[in-house]
C-alpha cells in the first residue's frame, strides 16, 4: 500500500520536464490547461493533447489542479449562467477523456497569501513566510483598503503602523506585488501584472463588500447543486481546497478553513464524489485544526492530498518548514491516510489511489540556480517526496497499519 506519487507540473513553461519526473519515480501528474482562458470550455481535443503527452512518458494525468471557479460564480453575478454551463461542459469532457479528479477552490479574489517569498530558515534554506502584522501593514498602509484597520486588533494595528513607517517605497511596492501578482499569476490569478494592479485588486475586493460568509456559502451550495450531478454522471471526483491561510483576510469571507466548514460543504451534496483536498500545509496554519480529526471524520471524502508542514509562530504567523518537521506530526498523518486507503480497498471502492503530492518545498542546493514558481522548487520538493515515501515504507514495514 502507498499513496499515489504525484507532482504538480505547469506544462510547457515548467522548468521541470515530464522526462525529469519519470526519472524521479512520479506516477501521476497534477496539472491544468494553463493556456485556456479562464472561464472558457476545455475541449476534448485540448484535454487529450496534454493527457497523451503525459501518458507518452508512462505516467497518468492524475488530478486537474485546477479547473478555475471564476469570481462571477463565487459572487453569483451577471454572466454566472454561461460560466456554469462552460464549467459543466469542461467536466463532461474531462470525464469522457478519463480524468477522474478535479481540485478547485472557492477562495474570493486571493488564492493564497505570503508576505515573504525568500524567508531563510536556520539552515539557510529558503522558505515562504506569512507574517500577520506585515500583512496588516500591507492592507492598511500600502493597499489602503477602506476601513481595513477595523479588521485588526489594536496590538496588530500598532505593529503594522511601525512596520509600514520603516518600509521604503520600494519595499512597499515589492510587498504588494508579491501578494497580489507574483503568488497568484501562475495559478489563474484574478489580477495580472498591469500598471494599476493595486486599484484593480481593490475593485475585485469591492465586489464582496456585501457578501457575507453566509451568502458565500449559499453561492457554493448553488455551485455544487449545479455541477455535482455532472461530476457523478461522468465519474469525476470534486475536491475543494482549503483556504490558505485558513482565516479571514482583506475583509473577505472565508468558508473552507475548519473541520466544521468542510463537514458543511460535504453535506451540501450527498455524494462521496463531493469531496475535499486534504492540504496539511494550509490547514495546519490554524492551531485549532486537528489533522487526525479531519481524517477520522472526513477520510472517506479525501480525493487528493497535499502534504507539507508549517511552523506556527503565534499571532496567525507561520512559515513553511518542509515536509516532516513542523507543527504537525507527519508520521501520524501519513499513517492515518494509509489506514483510510486500506479501508477503501477492503470496502471495494475504486478510488484507492489517493494521489498525494509534496506540496511546496524548501529552496535548496541547485534550486537557487533554477527558475520556478514560488513554492515549487525541484530539489526541495524531491526531498519532500523522498521523505514522505520513506515514511510510508517505514509505517508499512513496521506493520503500523492494521
DSSP, res 298: H
359 is catalytic: yes
Q: Is the dihedral of CA 154, 156, 158, 164 positive or negative?
A: negative
Contacts of 77 (CB under 8 A, 6+ apart): 71, 207
Q: Out of 152, 306, 323, 351, which one is annotated catalytic?
A: 306
The C-alpha cell 468542510 sits at: 262
Angle between helices 259-267 and 213-233 (to 10 degrees): 50
Known active-site residue 303: no
Q: Kindly state the helix (H) or strand (E) to which residue 237 belongs, with its residue range.
A: strand 237-240
Please list, in sequence order, all residues whose beta carbon lies within 8 angstroms of the beta carbon of residue 397, skipping any fewer than 6 positions away. Answer: none
Site of grid cell 514522505: 388
C-alpha triplet 240, 242, 247: angle, nearest 5°: 145
- Single out the catalytic residue among 133, 152, 360, 367: 360
The residue annotated as part of the active site, out of 244, 279, 351, 367, is 279
d(CA 286, CA 317): 9
**CA 155 from chain center: how many Å?**
30
Here the cell at position 259 is 473541520
Q: Is 306 in the active site?
A: yes
Q: What is the DSSP letter of 370?
A: S
241 is known as an active-site residue: yes
Helix (H) / strand (E) containing 343? helix 330-347
Give the torsion sign (CA, 220, 334, 231, 97). Answer: positive
In the residue annotation, 133 being an active-site residue is answered as: no
57 exposure class (CB count in 10 Å sphere: 0-12, 13-18, 19+): middle
> Which residues contact residue 344 at a Cβ distance below 8 angstroms, ignoring those fewer than 6 apart?
300, 351, 352, 354
Strand partners, 64: 31, 102
Expressed in percent and rounded to 5, the helix, strand and coil fractions of the chain are 45, 15, 40
Can you tell me which residue has the cell 513496521? 398
Give catalytic residues, as residue numbers: 241, 279, 306, 359-360, 376
Amino acid at each position: 500500500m502507498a499513496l499515489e506519487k504525484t507532482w504538480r507540473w505547469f506544462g510547457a513553461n515548467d522548468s521541470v520536464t515530464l522526462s525529469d519526473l519519470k526519472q524521479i519515480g512520479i506516477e501521476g501528474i497534477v496539472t491544468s490547461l494553463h493556456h485556456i482562458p479562464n472561464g472558457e470550455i476545455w475541449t476534448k481535443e485540448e484535454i487529450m493533447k496534454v493527457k497523451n503527452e503525459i501518458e507518452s512518458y508512462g505516467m497518468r494525468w492524475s488530478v486537474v489542479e485546477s479547473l478555475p471557479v471564476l469570481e462571477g460564480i463565487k459572487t453569483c453575478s451577471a454572466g454566472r449562467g454561461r460560466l456554469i454551463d462552460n464549467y459543466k461542459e469542461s467536466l463532461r469532457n474531462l470525464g469522457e477523456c478519463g480524468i477522474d479528479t478535479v481540485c478547485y477552490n472557492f477562495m474570493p479574489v486571493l488564492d493564497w497569501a505570503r508576505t515573504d517569498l525568500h524567508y531563510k530558515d536556520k539552515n539557510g534554506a529558503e522558505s515562504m513566510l506569512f507574517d500577520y502584522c506585515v500583512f496588516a501593514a500591507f492592507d492598511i498602509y500600502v493597499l489602503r483598503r477602506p476601513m481595513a484597520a477595523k479588521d485588526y486588533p489594536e496590538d496588530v494595528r500598532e505593529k503594522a503602523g511601525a512596520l509600514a513607517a520603516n518600509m521604503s517605497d520600494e519595499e512597499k511596492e515589492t510587498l504588494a506585488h508579491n501578494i497580489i501578482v507574483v503568488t497568484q499569476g501562475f495559478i489563474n490569478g484574478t489580477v495580472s501584472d498591469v500598471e494599476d494592479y493595486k486599484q484593480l485588486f481593490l475593485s475585485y475586493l469591492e465586489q464582496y463588500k456585501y457578501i457575507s460568509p453566509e451568502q458565500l456559502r449559499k453561492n457554493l451550495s448553488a455551485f455544487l447543486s449545479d455541477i455535482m450531478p455532472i461530476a457523478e454522471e461522468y465519474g469525476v471526483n470534486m475536491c475543494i481546497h482549503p483556504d490558505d491561510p485558513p482565516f479571514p483576510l482583506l475583509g473577505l469571507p472565508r468558508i473552507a478553513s475548519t473541520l466544521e466548514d468542510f463537514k458543511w460543504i460535504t453535506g451540501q451534496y450527498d455524494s462521496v464524489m463531493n469531496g475535499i483536498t486534504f492540504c496539511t500545509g494550509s490547514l495546519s496554519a490554524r492551531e485549532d485544526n486537528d489533522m487526525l480529526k479531519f481524517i477520522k471524520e472526513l477520510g472517506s471524502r479525501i480525493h487528493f492530498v497535499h502534504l507539507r508542514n508549517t511552523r506556527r509562530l503565534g499571532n496567525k504567523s507561520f512559515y513553511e518548514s518542509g515536509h516532516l518537521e513542523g507543527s504537525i506530526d507527519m508520521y501520524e498523518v501519513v499513517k492515518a491516510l494509509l489506514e483510510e486507503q486500506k479501508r477503501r480497498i477492503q470496502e471495494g471502492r475504486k478510488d484507492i489511489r489517493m494521489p498525494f503530492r509534496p506540496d511546496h518545498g524548501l529552496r535548496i542546493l541547485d534550486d537557487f540556480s533554477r527558475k520556478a514558481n514560488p513554492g515549487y522548487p525541484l530539489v526541495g520538493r524531491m526531498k519532500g517526496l523522498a521523505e514522505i515515501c520513506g515514511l510510508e515504507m517505514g509505517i508499512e514495514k513496521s506493520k503500523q497499519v492494521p
